[in-house]
Amino acid sequence: MSDPVIELEALCRDYQMGTSRVRALREVNLTLQTGEFVALMGASGSGKSTLLNVLGCLETPTSGRYFLEGRDVGALAKDERARVRNQQIGFIFQSFNLLPRLSALENVALPLHYRRMGHSAAQHQAAVALDRVGLADRAHHPPNALSGGERQRVAIARALVTQPAILLADEPTGNLDSATGAEIMALLVELSKEGRTVLLVTHDTAIAAYAQRGLRMRDGQLLT
């Protein structure tokens, strides 16, 4: 457990808001080790969403360096970043973001299709991932036939199916009642124990308590 999955060196991110320039991330330094379960907390506007987006390769840092599994991914081109997202990052969203017209199984298989995996291999791998989150019997249901907790499990299966380097969970329990939220957190803890690296973004201290390590952000800076 000594290889860093993520290393950020003096990471900055600026936004142009009209005529003024806003610095959303200020010199962020961060190292995440393999298998760590880290909670990132902070008020809205503190920069945690921006940090999550940069970590997820959805946007690029203005300056500083971002190493993902030892590779500098901070300045990659658009399609290269898409490849990184596909192969090394698993997203779990607050609002699940399942595609309504696809079944649970097809939703889980989607990232595999984007890496050009054949249909039957993808179906098989997606079925294994669904089984892992305990939804093997719900594979052919569309999202709107599933409960909130089940939907989030499908989303977790979709994040897991590509065997990513890190799971990025953005308020994964935000749309769930507390009992269901606890179940989802238990699943994330389990995954962490299996050796998955998890970064959890939340503003709820009770949720953050599930993590091994807590980080707090304020005004674009990481407090230590």
For another protein, the binding residues (CB under 8 A) are: 53, 56, 58-59, 78-79, 82-83, 85-87, 91, 93, 97-99, 101, 110-111, 113-116, 118-119, 158, 162
Query: What sign does the CA torsion over 74, 36, 42, 10 have?
Result: negative
| Cβ contact 37:212 at 8 Å | yes
Report the DSSP pairing between strands 166-170 and 89-92.
Answer: parallel
What is the nearest approach in angstroms of another protein to the Cβ of residue 153? 17
How many degrees, rounded to 5, is the angle at CA 85 between CA 216 and CA 185? 50
Minimum distance, C-beta of residue 111 to another protein, in the bound complex (Å):
4
Query: Nearer to another protein by C-beta: 54 or 187?
Result: 54
Nearer to another protein, 86 or 221 (CB): 86
Short-list 122, 87, 92, 88, CA closest to 105: 122
CB 161, min distance to another protein, A: 10
Whichever of 15 and 209 has its CB closer to another protein, that residue is 15
Closer Cβ to another protein, 122 or 188, answer by number:
122
The three-state secondary structure class of 89 is: strand
User: What's the Cα-to-Cα distance from 220 to each of 48, 85, 134, 168, rounded to whole Å?
Assistant: 8, 24, 38, 19
C-alpha triplet 197, 89, 150: angle, nearest 5°: 80
Tell me the closest approach of the beta carbon of residue 206 to another protein, in angstroms: 26
Give whichever of 34 and 97 is closer to another protein, judged by the CB atom: 97
Q: Which residue, 128 or 182, has its beta carbon nearer to another protein?
A: 128
User: What is the DSSP pairing of strand 221-223 with strand 63-68?
Assistant: unpaired
Supply the minimum distance, in Å, between the C-beta of residue 117 and another protein. Answer: 8
Q: Are 12 and 61 in contact (CB under 8 A)?
A: yes
Shortest gap between Cβ of 80 and another protein (angstroms)? 9
